[in-house]
Amino acid sequence: MRTFAAWCGIFSLLTCLLSLCGTSAAEPSARNAPVENFFAGRGGGGSAHTNNWAVLVCSSRYWFNYRHMANALGMYRTVKRLGIPDSNIILMLADDAACNARNKFPGCVYANQGRHLDLYGDNIEVDYRGYEVTVENFLRVLTGRMDPSVPRSKRLLTDDRSNIFVYMTGHGGNEFLKFQDNEEISAFDIADAFEQMWQKKRYNEILFMIDTCQANTMFSKFYSPNIIATGSSEIHENSYSHENDFDIGVAVIDKFTHYILQFMEGINKTSQATLQDLFNTYDFSKIESHAGVRADLFRRPLTETLVTDFFGGVAQAEVLDESASPSACALQPPSADGIQATLAIQMPGLELLLTEPVNTTLNRGPTGPRRALETDCTGLSLAAARGTADDLLARKARAWASSFVIVVLIGFVNMRRK
């Protein structure tokens, strides 16, 4: 009888321990469900990306192509305003208009007749300027085939969770775009570069946008997945300038880019506007050409794909089932590009990773580039995690009390047997 009682006590102890393990394994998922649902509801169509990049190319030079420089700078201002930091923007620009001798407003570039907004300003970082804007450099940026001497600020340091916005403007024709009247890039070159990027896991999704004559022919050869493309004009159509400024003396922006930027002025970081909303604004009577969209390679419906999936900086949160020690807000080491940082907000039984750098700044000093990351933990809601710490302590206390009672019973049985 005593042996039977002892075995019963041991069996009860094992059952308690197994139950405790099962509870600790199952409860985090149930506890994290409200948090997962909260962020899933803000996912904007199910994009799996965790970082955004932009490659902005003005392939023209010379004063009479002033509008092409304004096109690229307008896009540059927009993506920065929506949260993509300079560290994640590659800007290729001839940069010969702002300080041109014929510019009546030195150091300024305007995109409207009233000159309300200086697109050049004090806070612009041109990564490739002048004769650095070549077909070879553009393809090397996309594919990552860089010489070791190229600084990190000139590299596209993307991965398979990166959404990339590629914008090009200049003079072109049927399946080609001219680079500074010196060379051309073909639709095949860009298509093959995107395929290399896909094979090397350098992107999650790409939005390709081009403003040039016969622009839609430039994405006719694409064959890689997860790419959506749009252009300003069909084959045998021109892309037209929008307006002239008589003081500047030349056209200051193209129609296609002008109306896209006009739409983007109504977008903020939390906007729920989709790419379909953007494409619905294309109007032949305004653009005077047939803007095109190619979405057969894209896996998501355009009606569920947010504009900010490509034009904005993400703040993607991932909920982990790993329990952590005391509450902390810690900035983890930067990733491979030296810029992307991970903000880990840890609580007992809950850990949130904010995989977008917040308030990222780039400072340049006399000793060279110096990158400073400033992260602000405020504003992130953790309402779903309230009470987690108290619940965990109560469960641990009950488990230890049960284990103690069982051990006492086993000891009592053994003492009686002796």
- Known catalytic residues are 171, 213
Q: Are 56 and 167 in contact (CB under 8 A)?
A: yes
CA pair distance 182, 60, nearest whole angstrom: 10
**Six token digits for residue 324:** 């952590």
DSSP state of 333: P
Question: Is the Cβ–Cβ distance between 399 and 20 less than 8 Å?
Answer: yes
Distance CA 281, CA 263 (A): 8
- Find, among 161, 213, 168, the residue nearest to 193 by Cα: 168
Nearest residue to 267 (alpha-carbon basis) of 227, 300, 304, 306: 306
- Cα gap 298→319, rounded to integer Å: 27
Q: Are 330 and 341 in contact (CB under 8 A)?
A: no
| Cα–Cα distance, 319 to 355 (Å, whole number) | 11
Q: Is 356 exposed, middle or buried (0-12, 13-18, 19+ CB in 10 A)?
A: buried
Task: Give dist(CA 340, CA 88) in Å, integer.
Answer: 9
What count of residues does the chain have? 418
Query: What are the counts of helices (DSSP H) followed by strands (DSSP E) for the chain?
Result: 9, 18
What φ, ψ does residue 210 adopt, rounded to 5°?
Answer: -140, 135
The token duo for 272 is: 């729920």
